[in-house]
Amino acid sequence: MAPDPTPDPTPSPTPDSAPDLTRQLANLREDYARGGLDEADLDGDPLVTFARWFDDARAAGLHEPNAVVVATADAAGRPSVRTVLLKGVDERGFRFFTNLGSRKGSDLAANPACSLLFPWHPLERQVRVEGTASPLPRDEVAAYFASRPRSSQLGAWASEQSQPVADRAALEAAYDEVAARFPGEVPVPEHWGGFRVRPDVVEFWQGRTGRLHDRLVHRRVDGRWEVVRLQP
């Protein structure tokens, strides 16, 4: 007869031995009552409405209102998500910059479909975007790179984003080496660039009481925008 397996000395978490996180989460809720969103509030161009909502977020003093959650998927469909900073928006779409060898850079090279989310929680608002990313031209990348602080320029050279590093000291040593290598102007690394996301869907969400939130979605159809209201 085989001996009984050695019991695991670590007990399973219980409400008595560990915080009951599930219960805490279940009881966290807010009632949204800052306002509503009607079709008449929207411009025919969703980027115009986005600009207005962005101005509202800045006026309200939100920390980094240009922080945007970018969701991508690789060629096999495995998703990943992270927060970056929006660095431009116009009639062509939404612009951000990154290390092209990063996870998001690799994902977008293989599968340019992506989604963006602007979570402006203090205003009980969010904007969701679905679209296609395309690489920015190198002259546009160079112009933005030249506007960055020197420390950020050096960091773009020193960091092989998303790759393992032995420790913090190794990363700082790489930074010091780059700083010595470029005592003057810092050129744009070949591995650093940007993307522009051309939107096909833009959803404006406004929290409402009773969870009857307002969801108005612009969809690009035959070169023009159509608006539909979705149930919350």
Q: Which residues are catalytic?
A: 211
Q: Are 123 and 138 in contact (CB under 8 A)?
A: no
53 is in an annotated binding site: no
Tokens of 136: 């920015």
Burial per residue of 83-99, b for 16 or more beta-carbon CB atoms within 10 angstroms, e otherwise: ebebbbbeeebbbbbbb
Rounded distance between C-alpha atoms, residue 36 and residue 228, angstroms: 16
138 is in an annotated binding site: no
Tokens of 150: 């020197």
208 is in an annotated binding site: no
17 is in an annotated binding site: no
Tokens of 41: 């509030």
28 is in an annotated binding site: no
Interior angle at CA 87, CA 105 and CA 149, nearest 5: 95
175 is in an annotated binding site: no
Distances (CA, A) of 124 to 52, 66, 70, 208: 15, 16, 20, 8
24 is in an annotated binding site: no
Q: What is the dihedral of CA 20, 24, 26, 32, to 10 degrees?
A: -170
87 is in an annotated binding site: yes
62 is in an annotated binding site: no
Rounded distance between C-alpha atoms, residue 106 and residue 93, angstroms: 20
103 is in an annotated binding site: yes
Q: Are 3 and 179 in contact (CB under 8 A)?
A: no
206 is in an annotated binding site: no
Binding residues for substrate: 29-32, 87, 144, 148, 152, 211-213
Binding residues: 29-32, 82-87, 97-98, 103-104, 126, 144, 148, 152, 161-162, 205, 211-213, 215
Binding residues for FMN: 82-87, 97-98, 103-104, 126, 161-162, 205, 215
